[in-house]
Amino acid sequence: MISDNLKQNIKDSLFTGIIATAIFLPIVGLRTELNQEKTGLEIIPEWNTTILLILFCVIGRFIINLRKASKSNLVSNAFSKLGNYFADKGKIFVLSGLLFAILFPYLPFTDRYLMDVGIMVLTYIMLGWGLNVVVGLAGMLDLGYVAFYAVGSYSFALIATEFNWSFWICLPLAGVFAAFFGVLLGFPVLRLKGDYLAIVTLGFGEIIRIILINWYDLTNGPDGISGIPRPTFFGLDFTRNPPEGSESFHTFFNLEYSGMHRIIFLYYVILILALITNYITLKIRKLPVGRAWEALREDEIACKSLGVNPTNTKLTAFAIGAMFGGFAGSFFATKQGFISPESFTFIESAIILAIVVLGGMGSQTGVVLATIFLIGFTETFRELEQFRMIAFGAAMVLIMLYKPKGILDQRDPTIKLKGDK
């Protein structure tokens, strides 16, 4: 006789299969292509792929139900042991990762594509660390972080194109502008918490994007800003034929011209910016304002009773987090040479927030691991086309099921007593 739990599990799995069929059949199962005469479209069925995806959903649901029914939790324990191992061997992994990042451009397998992926990963790591200040340390849910990313990009682009200033002058100015907008956002949301705070920050991000689209005289609207100056190495240009009166990088060092010189330079620029962001964050966490952020995250009423000013604490978190986002935006603008409002949609905020949550709230190392997983792996397996997003979504569901607090939900305390080891 089949037990009632097993019957319910089978029914639930079959129902999952019906839903998966309704979703995958029109999206994956039916593909359109031009016919041989190129006069119209013909429908090409993809039954094998569709059946595999449906079976994956049915079997996956069946296994998840079995896991819920059983008292053993092997997968969850495996994730916990993995997180504890990373926590115990943290310094070794950090130093090994840093050494790998420094040597990455010169490894035998590194090519132009992997360099671009590495630059993208480091950019999102920097953005994740910036949002981690607001969400992970201060405990304020921010769904509009992309607004500060956009403010930094457009501030840099406008200053660089209008005044023809160098990257190293425009970079801090863009960070200051982004921090100013962080304070502007912080004032209206001082009394808001949780979902209400998330809704307001989401609206702020959309307001910035709409302003960028419609303020044509300043931002050039949907056409974006082009001709953004590229950074130079102490005045040395990375072009084959530099402007009159300047010298190129390859002629100064007597090297053969290669487009990889600029890419490697940009890689080390974003690596240095990311390391500075991490260093500043770790130092601030040990200061009174950093401890106030974490106390505010745990209990705002207790903070007030201890004399902590929640207004100043929230504003500093918004300002510092926005400043880091502005720095990342500046780098994005100078790397691309062109920016438009389409680069700063809500999906960017969602990805950055997913990095912070998946890595573990308040964990700097967790942000790095989550970024490598979310950005690096999905870009590396781009050849899998639509299947990479299915695998990506399934992996995220598994991690959230078995590790809901993030990959590294354990971290060292900010301050240790003298007797602690």
- 304 and 190 both lie in a single domain: yes
Number of H helices, E strands in the chain: 18, 4
- 91 and 66 both lie in a single domain: no
Taking the C-alpha atoms of residue 229 and residue 127, their distance in angstroms, rounded to an integer, is: 22
- Residue 418 inside a domain? The answer is no
Structural tokens at position 356: 């912070």
Taking the C-alpha atoms of residue 311 and residue 307, their distance in angstroms, rounded to an integer, is: 12
CA distances from 209 to 197, 252, 313, 326 (A): 19, 42, 27, 15
| 123 Cβ contact list (under 8 Å, min separation 6) | 270, 328, 331, 332
**385-415 tens-digit pLDDT:** 556 566 666 666 766 666 666 666 555 555 5
- 197 and 57 both lie in a single domain: no
**12-67 tens-digit pLDDT:** 888 888 888 888 777 777 777 777 766 777 777 777 778 877 888 888 777 777 76
Q: Is the pLDDT of residue 324 over 90?
A: yes
Structural tokens at position 170: 């425009």
Q: What is the pLDDT of residue 71?
A: 46
- 129 and 177 both lie in a single domain: yes
- Residue 415 inside a domain? The answer is no
- Residue 407 inside a domain? The answer is no
Which domain, by its residues, includes 26? 4-72
- 234 and 349 both lie in a single domain: yes
Q: Is the pLDDT of residue 72 over 50?
A: no
Of 78 and 96, the one with more pLDDT: 96
Of 116 and 193, the one with more pLDDT: 116
- Residue 261 inside a domain? The answer is yes
- 28 and 100 both lie in a single domain: no
- Residue 58 inside a domain? The answer is yes
- Residue 421 inside a domain? The answer is no
Contact yes or no for 42/63 (Cβ under 8 A): no
- 62 and 89 both lie in a single domain: no
Structural tokens at position 373: 């997983």
Structural domains of the chain, count: 2
- 116 and 65 both lie in a single domain: no
- When pLDDT is averaged across residues 234-239 and rounded to a whole number, the result is 75
- 125 and 68 both lie in a single domain: no
Taking the C-alpha atoms of residue 289 and residue 271, their distance in angstroms, rounded to an integer, is: 26
Structural tokens at position 26: 């029109």
- Residue 243 inside a domain? The answer is yes
Q: What is the pLDDT of residue 403?
A: 66
**266-313 tens-digit pLDDT:** 899 999 999 999 999 888 888 888 888 888 887 778 888 888 888 888
Residue type, 64: I
* pLDDT tier, 328 (very low <50, low <70, confident <90, very high otherwise): very high
Question: Domain with 295 in it: what CATH number?
Answer: 1.10.3470
Taking the C-alpha atoms of residue 400 and residue 115, their distance in angstroms, rounded to an integer, is: 30
- 110 and 243 both lie in a single domain: yes
Q: What is the pLDDT of residue 414?
A: 57
- 101 and 66 both lie in a single domain: no
- For the chain, give the mean pLDDT: 79
- 181 and 47 both lie in a single domain: no
- Residue 92 inside a domain? The answer is yes
* pLDDT tier, 1 (very low <50, low <70, confident <90, very high otherwise): very low
**Which residues are paired to 41 by β-bridges?**
34
Q: What is the pLDDT of residue 251?
A: 76
